[in-house]
Structure 1
Amino acid sequence: MKKGMKVFLPIIIIMIIIAVFLVGNYNNLVSLKQGVSAAESNIDTQLQRRSDLIPNLVNTVKGYATQEKEIFTEIADARAKLAGATNISDQAAADTELSNALSRLLVVVENYPDLKSNQNFLDLSVQLEGTENRIAIARQDYNNVVTNYNTKILRFPTNIIASLFGFDEKPFYKASAGAAEVPSVDFSK
Protein backbone atom coordinates (compact mmCIF):
# COMPACT_ATOMS: atom_id res chain seq x y z
CA MET A 1 0.00 0.00 0.00
CA LYS A 2 2.82 2.40 0.85
CA LYS A 3 4.48 1.71 -2.49
CA GLY A 4 1.26 2.66 -4.34
CA MET A 5 1.09 5.94 -2.40
CA LYS A 6 4.67 6.74 -3.26
CA VAL A 7 3.81 6.44 -6.96
CA PHE A 8 0.46 8.30 -6.94
CA LEU A 9 1.42 11.11 -4.57
CA PRO A 10 3.96 12.72 -6.94
CA ILE A 11 1.51 12.32 -9.84
CA ILE A 12 -1.24 14.01 -7.83
CA ILE A 13 1.11 16.84 -6.78
CA ILE A 14 2.19 17.39 -10.41
CA MET A 15 -1.46 17.44 -11.54
CA ILE A 16 -2.31 19.99 -8.85
CA ILE A 17 0.61 22.19 -9.88
CA ILE A 18 -0.47 22.02 -13.55
CA ALA A 19 -4.09 22.80 -12.61
CA VAL A 20 -3.04 25.81 -10.52
CA PHE A 21 -0.84 27.03 -13.38
CA LEU A 22 -3.67 26.66 -15.92
CA VAL A 23 -6.28 28.32 -13.72
CA GLY A 24 -3.93 31.16 -12.81
CA ASN A 25 -3.02 31.89 -16.42
CA TYR A 26 -6.62 31.61 -17.59
CA ASN A 27 -7.80 34.02 -14.90
CA ASN A 28 -4.99 36.43 -15.77
CA LEU A 29 -6.02 36.36 -19.44
CA VAL A 30 -9.65 37.00 -18.49
CA SER A 31 -8.57 40.00 -16.40
CA LEU A 32 -6.46 41.41 -19.21
CA LYS A 33 -9.26 40.91 -21.75
CA GLN A 34 -11.68 42.72 -19.43
CA GLY A 35 -9.14 45.55 -19.16
CA VAL A 36 -9.13 45.86 -22.95
CA SER A 37 -12.93 46.00 -22.99
CA ALA A 38 -12.97 48.64 -20.26
CA ALA A 39 -10.40 50.77 -22.08
CA GLU A 40 -12.40 50.50 -25.31
CA SER A 41 -15.51 51.54 -23.41
CA ASN A 42 -13.65 54.57 -22.03
CA ILE A 43 -12.86 55.66 -25.59
CA ASP A 44 -16.54 55.25 -26.48
CA THR A 45 -17.55 57.37 -23.49
CA GLN A 46 -15.23 60.22 -24.46
CA LEU A 47 -16.25 60.03 -28.12
CA GLN A 48 -19.89 60.20 -27.04
CA ARG A 49 -19.13 63.23 -24.88
CA ARG A 50 -17.53 64.95 -27.87
CA SER A 51 -20.40 63.92 -30.10
CA ASP A 52 -22.84 65.47 -27.63
CA LEU A 53 -20.89 68.75 -27.52
CA ILE A 54 -20.59 69.14 -31.28
CA PRO A 55 -24.24 70.01 -32.07
CA ASN A 56 -24.11 72.85 -29.53
CA LEU A 57 -20.88 74.15 -31.03
CA VAL A 58 -22.21 73.83 -34.57
CA ASN A 59 -25.45 75.64 -33.66
CA THR A 60 -23.48 78.46 -32.09
CA VAL A 61 -21.31 78.82 -35.18
CA LYS A 62 -24.31 78.51 -37.53
CA GLY A 63 -25.75 81.71 -36.13
CA TYR A 64 -22.67 83.57 -37.34
CA ALA A 65 -21.58 81.58 -40.37
CA THR A 66 -24.72 80.67 -42.29
CA GLN A 67 -22.86 80.52 -45.61
CA GLU A 68 -20.52 77.74 -44.38
CA LYS A 69 -23.05 74.92 -44.92
CA GLU A 70 -20.53 72.44 -46.35
CA ILE A 71 -18.61 72.15 -43.09
CA PHE A 72 -21.81 71.55 -41.13
CA THR A 73 -22.74 68.72 -43.49
CA GLU A 74 -19.28 67.17 -43.15
CA ILE A 75 -19.54 67.25 -39.36
CA ALA A 76 -23.01 65.67 -39.41
CA ASP A 77 -21.84 62.93 -41.79
CA ALA A 78 -18.74 62.21 -39.70
CA ARG A 79 -20.82 62.03 -36.50
CA ALA A 80 -23.18 59.56 -38.17
CA LYS A 81 -20.26 57.38 -39.27
CA LEU A 82 -18.82 57.43 -35.75
CA ALA A 83 -22.18 56.50 -34.23
CA GLY A 84 -22.48 53.61 -36.70
CA ALA A 85 -18.96 52.25 -36.21
CA THR A 86 -19.09 48.60 -35.17
CA ASN A 87 -15.43 47.88 -34.43
CA ILE A 88 -12.35 49.73 -33.21
CA SER A 89 -10.91 50.16 -36.73
CA ASP A 90 -14.10 51.73 -38.13
CA GLN A 91 -14.34 53.85 -35.02
CA ALA A 92 -10.79 55.13 -35.47
CA ALA A 93 -11.44 56.02 -39.12
CA ALA A 94 -14.68 57.83 -38.30
CA ASP A 95 -13.03 59.57 -35.37
CA THR A 96 -10.28 60.87 -37.65
CA GLU A 97 -12.83 62.13 -40.16
CA LEU A 98 -14.74 63.93 -37.41
CA SER A 99 -11.55 65.46 -36.02
CA ASN A 100 -10.64 66.75 -39.48
CA ALA A 101 -14.10 68.28 -39.93
CA LEU A 102 -13.85 69.93 -36.51
CA SER A 103 -10.45 71.34 -37.45
CA ARG A 104 -11.98 72.89 -40.56
CA LEU A 105 -14.82 74.30 -38.45
CA LEU A 106 -12.34 75.97 -36.12
CA VAL A 107 -10.56 77.49 -39.13
CA VAL A 108 -13.91 78.85 -40.34
CA VAL A 109 -14.41 80.44 -36.92
CA GLU A 110 -11.30 82.55 -37.49
CA ASN A 111 -13.26 84.57 -40.09
CA TYR A 112 -15.84 85.63 -37.48
CA PRO A 113 -14.27 87.77 -34.74
CA ASP A 114 -17.63 88.31 -33.00
CA LEU A 115 -18.06 84.56 -32.72
CA LYS A 116 -14.63 84.11 -31.15
CA SER A 117 -15.65 86.48 -28.35
CA ASN A 118 -19.08 84.85 -27.82
CA GLN A 119 -19.13 83.35 -24.29
CA ASN A 120 -21.20 80.35 -25.34
CA PHE A 121 -18.72 79.54 -28.12
CA LEU A 122 -15.77 80.02 -25.77
CA ASP A 123 -17.28 77.69 -23.16
CA LEU A 124 -18.04 75.03 -25.75
CA SER A 125 -14.55 75.34 -27.23
CA VAL A 126 -12.95 74.81 -23.82
CA GLN A 127 -15.16 71.77 -23.17
CA LEU A 128 -14.35 70.37 -26.60
CA GLU A 129 -10.62 70.88 -26.08
CA GLY A 130 -10.81 69.10 -22.74
CA THR A 131 -12.73 66.26 -24.32
CA GLU A 132 -10.15 65.95 -27.12
CA ASN A 133 -7.46 65.60 -24.45
CA ARG A 134 -9.49 62.93 -22.67
CA ILE A 135 -9.95 61.06 -25.95
CA ALA A 136 -6.19 61.12 -26.58
CA ILE A 137 -5.52 59.76 -23.09
CA ALA A 138 -8.21 57.08 -23.49
CA ARG A 139 -6.62 56.01 -26.79
CA GLN A 140 -3.20 55.75 -25.15
CA ASP A 141 -4.63 53.79 -22.24
CA TYR A 142 -6.40 51.43 -24.64
CA ASN A 143 -3.24 50.81 -26.66
CA ASN A 144 -1.23 50.19 -23.46
CA VAL A 145 -3.76 47.63 -22.24
CA VAL A 146 -3.88 45.98 -25.68
CA THR A 147 -0.08 45.78 -25.69
CA ASN A 148 -0.07 43.98 -22.34
CA TYR A 149 -2.88 41.65 -23.39
CA ASN A 150 -1.41 40.81 -26.81
CA THR A 151 2.05 40.26 -25.32
CA LYS A 152 0.63 37.91 -22.70
CA ILE A 153 -1.30 35.77 -25.20
CA LEU A 154 1.73 35.50 -27.49
CA ARG A 155 4.22 34.39 -24.82
CA PHE A 156 4.95 30.77 -24.16
CA PRO A 157 3.40 28.85 -22.37
CA THR A 158 0.41 31.18 -21.97
CA ASN A 159 -0.05 31.15 -25.75
CA ILE A 160 -1.14 27.51 -25.47
CA ILE A 161 -3.82 28.38 -22.92
CA ALA A 162 -4.86 31.41 -24.96
CA SER A 163 -5.35 29.33 -28.10
CA LEU A 164 -7.21 26.60 -26.20
CA PHE A 165 -9.71 29.07 -24.78
CA GLY A 166 -10.04 31.40 -27.78
CA PHE A 167 -8.18 34.47 -26.56
CA ASP A 168 -7.39 36.34 -29.80
CA GLU A 169 -5.20 39.38 -30.39
CA LYS A 170 -6.93 42.75 -30.10
CA PRO A 171 -6.35 45.53 -32.64
CA PHE A 172 -4.62 48.76 -31.67
CA TYR A 173 -6.41 52.08 -31.96
CA LYS A 174 -4.79 53.58 -35.02
CA ALA A 175 -5.52 56.79 -36.83
CA SER A 176 -6.79 56.23 -40.32
CA ALA A 177 -4.60 56.81 -43.36
CA GLY A 178 -4.04 60.48 -43.99
CA ALA A 179 -4.77 61.52 -40.41
CA ALA A 180 -1.38 63.18 -40.14
CA GLU A 181 -2.18 65.50 -43.04
CA VAL A 182 -3.37 68.99 -42.22
CA PRO A 183 -6.94 69.45 -43.42
CA SER A 184 -7.29 71.91 -46.27
CA VAL A 185 -9.80 74.71 -46.06
CA ASP A 186 -10.80 76.61 -49.17
CA PHE A 187 -12.74 79.84 -48.62
CA SER A 188 -13.00 80.63 -52.32
CA LYS A 189 -16.14 78.47 -52.77
Structure 2
Amino acid sequence: MIIGLIILAVAAVALILLYNGLVKARQVKEEAWSGIDVQLKRRADLIHNLVETVKGYAAHERGTLEEIVALRNKAQAVPSGDVAGRAAAEGMLSQALGRLFALAEAYPDLKANQNYADLQASLEKTENEIQMARRYYNGAARDLNVRVESFPANLVAGSFGFSKAPYFEITNEADRAVPTVKF
Protein backbone atom coordinates (compact mmCIF):
# COMPACT_ATOMS: atom_id res chain seq x y z
CA MET A 1 0.00 0.00 0.00
CA ILE A 2 2.82 2.42 0.83
CA ILE A 3 4.49 1.60 -2.48
CA GLY A 4 1.21 2.36 -4.25
CA LEU A 5 0.99 5.74 -2.52
CA ILE A 6 4.61 6.52 -3.43
CA ILE A 7 3.96 5.64 -7.08
CA LEU A 8 0.80 7.77 -7.04
CA ALA A 9 2.69 10.69 -5.45
CA VAL A 10 5.50 10.44 -8.03
CA ALA A 11 2.95 10.35 -10.86
CA ALA A 12 1.15 13.39 -9.42
CA VAL A 13 4.43 15.34 -9.13
CA ALA A 14 5.36 14.36 -12.71
CA LEU A 15 1.94 15.50 -13.95
CA ILE A 16 2.28 18.81 -12.11
CA LEU A 17 5.78 19.39 -13.51
CA LEU A 18 4.66 18.59 -17.07
CA TYR A 19 1.62 20.84 -16.78
CA ASN A 20 3.62 23.72 -15.30
CA GLY A 21 6.24 23.35 -18.04
CA LEU A 22 3.52 23.62 -20.67
CA VAL A 23 2.02 26.67 -18.96
CA LYS A 24 5.43 28.34 -18.83
CA ALA A 25 6.09 27.63 -22.51
CA ARG A 26 2.68 29.03 -23.47
CA GLN A 27 3.28 32.18 -21.41
CA VAL A 28 6.69 32.74 -22.98
CA LYS A 29 5.08 32.40 -26.42
CA GLU A 30 2.35 34.90 -25.48
CA GLU A 31 4.92 37.34 -24.11
CA ALA A 32 6.96 36.98 -27.31
CA TRP A 33 3.87 37.71 -29.42
CA SER A 34 3.20 40.77 -27.32
CA GLY A 35 6.72 42.00 -28.16
CA ILE A 36 6.01 41.67 -31.87
CA ASP A 37 2.67 43.42 -31.45
CA VAL A 38 4.30 46.39 -29.67
CA GLN A 39 6.92 46.79 -32.40
CA LEU A 40 4.32 46.52 -35.17
CA LYS A 41 2.27 49.26 -33.47
CA ARG A 42 5.37 51.44 -33.23
CA ARG A 43 6.06 50.87 -36.93
CA ALA A 44 2.48 51.76 -37.83
CA ASP A 45 2.81 55.05 -35.96
CA LEU A 46 6.12 55.84 -37.63
CA ILE A 47 4.72 55.05 -41.06
CA HIS A 48 2.02 57.68 -40.66
CA ASN A 49 4.61 60.36 -39.89
CA LEU A 50 6.91 59.17 -42.67
CA VAL A 51 4.12 59.24 -45.25
CA GLU A 52 3.11 62.76 -44.22
CA THR A 53 6.71 63.94 -44.56
CA VAL A 54 7.13 62.35 -47.97
CA LYS A 55 3.81 63.83 -49.15
CA GLY A 56 5.27 67.30 -48.82
CA TYR A 57 8.09 66.44 -51.20
CA ALA A 58 6.54 63.94 -53.56
CA ALA A 59 2.93 64.90 -53.94
CA HIS A 60 2.69 63.36 -57.39
CA GLU A 61 3.71 59.91 -56.05
CA ARG A 62 0.31 59.55 -54.45
CA GLY A 63 -0.20 55.92 -55.53
CA THR A 64 2.76 54.62 -53.55
CA LEU A 65 1.77 56.61 -50.48
CA GLU A 66 -1.85 55.53 -50.67
CA GLU A 67 -0.77 51.90 -51.00
CA ILE A 68 1.37 52.15 -47.86
CA VAL A 69 -1.44 53.75 -45.89
CA ALA A 70 -3.90 51.09 -47.08
CA LEU A 71 -1.50 48.26 -46.22
CA ARG A 72 -0.77 49.82 -42.81
CA ASN A 73 -4.49 49.97 -42.08
CA LYS A 74 -4.96 46.40 -43.31
CA ALA A 75 -2.15 45.17 -41.06
CA GLN A 76 -3.62 46.94 -38.05
CA ALA A 77 -7.05 45.44 -38.76
CA VAL A 78 -5.80 41.85 -38.44
CA PRO A 79 -6.81 40.44 -35.04
CA SER A 80 -3.91 40.31 -32.61
CA GLY A 81 -4.03 36.53 -32.21
CA ASP A 82 -4.01 35.78 -35.96
CA VAL A 83 -0.28 35.15 -36.38
CA ALA A 84 -0.47 33.89 -39.99
CA GLY A 85 -2.77 36.72 -41.11
CA ARG A 86 -0.61 39.30 -39.38
CA ALA A 87 2.56 37.87 -40.94
CA ALA A 88 1.04 38.08 -44.43
CA ALA A 89 -0.21 41.64 -43.97
CA GLU A 90 3.07 42.82 -42.45
CA GLY A 91 5.02 41.17 -45.30
CA MET A 92 3.07 43.17 -47.88
CA LEU A 93 3.62 46.34 -45.86
CA SER A 94 7.38 45.69 -45.71
CA GLN A 95 7.44 45.37 -49.51
CA ALA A 96 5.66 48.70 -49.92
CA LEU A 97 8.03 50.40 -47.46
CA GLY A 98 10.97 49.17 -49.52
CA ARG A 99 9.45 50.81 -52.58
CA LEU A 100 8.94 54.05 -50.62
CA PHE A 101 12.59 54.16 -49.57
CA ALA A 102 13.67 53.46 -53.14
CA LEU A 103 11.34 56.24 -54.32
CA ALA A 104 12.95 58.68 -51.88
CA GLU A 105 16.24 58.24 -53.75
CA ALA A 106 14.73 60.34 -56.56
CA TYR A 107 14.22 63.31 -54.22
CA PRO A 108 17.58 64.66 -52.97
CA ASP A 109 15.85 67.41 -50.95
CA LEU A 110 13.75 64.79 -49.20
CA LYS A 111 16.77 62.65 -48.36
CA ALA A 112 18.50 65.71 -46.92
CA ASN A 113 15.48 66.68 -44.79
CA GLN A 114 16.28 65.98 -41.13
CA ASN A 115 12.71 64.95 -40.26
CA TYR A 116 12.72 62.37 -43.05
CA ALA A 117 16.17 61.11 -42.08
CA ASP A 118 15.12 60.78 -38.43
CA LEU A 119 11.91 58.96 -39.36
CA GLN A 120 13.72 56.63 -41.74
CA ALA A 121 16.35 55.82 -39.09
CA SER A 122 13.61 55.17 -36.50
CA LEU A 123 11.74 52.96 -38.92
CA GLU A 124 14.88 51.01 -39.80
CA LYS A 125 15.61 50.52 -36.08
CA THR A 126 12.02 49.37 -35.55
CA GLU A 127 12.30 46.94 -38.49
CA ASN A 128 15.39 45.43 -36.84
CA GLU A 129 13.55 45.16 -33.52
CA ILE A 130 10.59 43.51 -35.28
CA GLN A 131 12.99 41.00 -36.83
CA MET A 132 14.48 40.21 -33.41
CA ALA A 133 11.00 39.96 -31.86
CA ARG A 134 9.90 37.59 -34.65
CA ARG A 135 12.90 35.36 -34.02
CA TYR A 136 12.20 35.36 -30.28
CA TYR A 137 8.53 34.54 -30.88
CA ASN A 138 9.37 31.74 -33.31
CA GLY A 139 11.82 30.31 -30.76
CA ALA A 140 9.15 30.43 -28.07
CA ALA A 141 6.63 28.85 -30.46
CA ARG A 142 9.17 26.13 -31.30
CA ASP A 143 9.76 25.40 -27.60
CA LEU A 144 6.02 25.18 -26.93
CA ASN A 145 5.48 22.98 -29.99
CA VAL A 146 8.25 20.60 -28.92
CA ARG A 147 6.70 20.29 -25.47
CA VAL A 148 3.20 19.79 -26.88
CA GLU A 149 4.40 17.03 -29.21
CA SER A 150 6.92 15.28 -26.93
CA PHE A 151 6.04 12.20 -24.88
CA PRO A 152 4.79 12.17 -22.14
CA ALA A 153 3.98 15.88 -22.18
CA ASN A 154 1.75 15.32 -25.24
CA LEU A 155 -0.60 13.29 -23.05
CA VAL A 156 -0.90 16.16 -20.60
CA ALA A 157 -1.08 18.78 -23.38
CA GLY A 158 -3.96 17.03 -25.10
CA SER A 159 -5.84 16.56 -21.86
CA PHE A 160 -5.55 20.21 -20.83
CA GLY A 161 -6.10 21.89 -24.21
CA PHE A 162 -2.54 22.94 -25.04
CA SER A 163 -1.94 23.18 -28.78
CA LYS A 164 0.87 24.00 -31.17
CA ALA A 165 1.59 27.67 -31.87
CA PRO A 166 1.89 28.96 -35.45
CA TYR A 167 5.18 30.45 -36.57
CA PHE A 168 5.40 34.08 -37.67
CA GLU A 169 6.69 33.60 -41.19
CA ILE A 170 6.37 34.87 -44.71
CA THR A 171 4.21 32.49 -46.73
CA ASN A 172 3.86 34.54 -49.91
CA GLU A 173 6.98 34.25 -52.10
CA ALA A 174 6.29 37.69 -53.60
CA ASP A 175 6.88 39.21 -50.15
CA ARG A 176 10.44 37.85 -50.22
CA ALA A 177 11.30 39.62 -53.47
CA VAL A 178 13.40 42.78 -53.62
CA PRO A 179 11.13 45.82 -54.02
CA THR A 180 11.03 47.36 -57.49
CA VAL A 181 10.24 50.96 -58.26
CA LYS A 182 9.10 52.25 -61.63
CA PHE A 183 9.02 55.93 -62.45
Asked whether the two chains share a fold, i.e. TM above 0.5, the reply is yes
Please say if 1:103 is aligned against 2:98. Answer: yes
The residue aligned with 1:140 is: 135
Instruction: Please tell me the residue identity of whatever aligns with 2:37.
Output: D
Matches within 5 A, 1:2-13: 8-13=1-6
The residue aligned with 2:34 is: 41
Please say if 1:79 is aligned against 2:72. Answer: yes
How far did residue 179 of structure 1 move? 1.7
Work out the CA distance in 1 between the residues paired with 2:161 and 2:171.
Answer: 28
The residue aligned with 1:186 is: 182
TM-score normalised to structure 1 length: 0.93
**What secondary structure is seen at the aligned counterpart in 1 of 2:59?**
coil
Please say if 1:158 is aligned against 2:163. Answer: no
For residues 109-145 of structure 1, the C-alpha deviation after alignment (integer angstroms, 9 at most, x for no partner) is: 0110001000111111110010000000000000111
How far did residue 76 of structure 1 move? 1.1
The residue aligned with 2:18 is: 25
How many aligned positions are there? Answer: 180
TM-score normalised to structure 2 length: 0.96
The residue aligned with 2:56 is: 63
Work out the CA distance in 1 between the residues paired with 2:87 and 2:131.
Answer: 12
Work out the CA distance in 1 between the residues paired with 2:75 and 2:56.
Answer: 25
Structure 2: runs of 5+ lacking an equivalent: none
The residue aligned with 1:167 is: 162
Percent sequence identity over aligned pairs: 43
Work out the CA distance in 1 between the residues paired with 2:10 and 2:165.
Answer: 30
The residue aligned with 1:4 is: none
The residue aligned with 1:130 is: 125
For residues 60-98 of structure 1, the C-alpha deviation after alignment (integer angstroms, 9 at most, x for no partner) is: 110000000001111111111111112000100110111
Structure index of larger Rg = 1
What is the RMSD computed on CA atoms of the aligned residues?
0.8
Instruction: Please tell me the residue identity of whatever aligns with 1:179.
Output: D
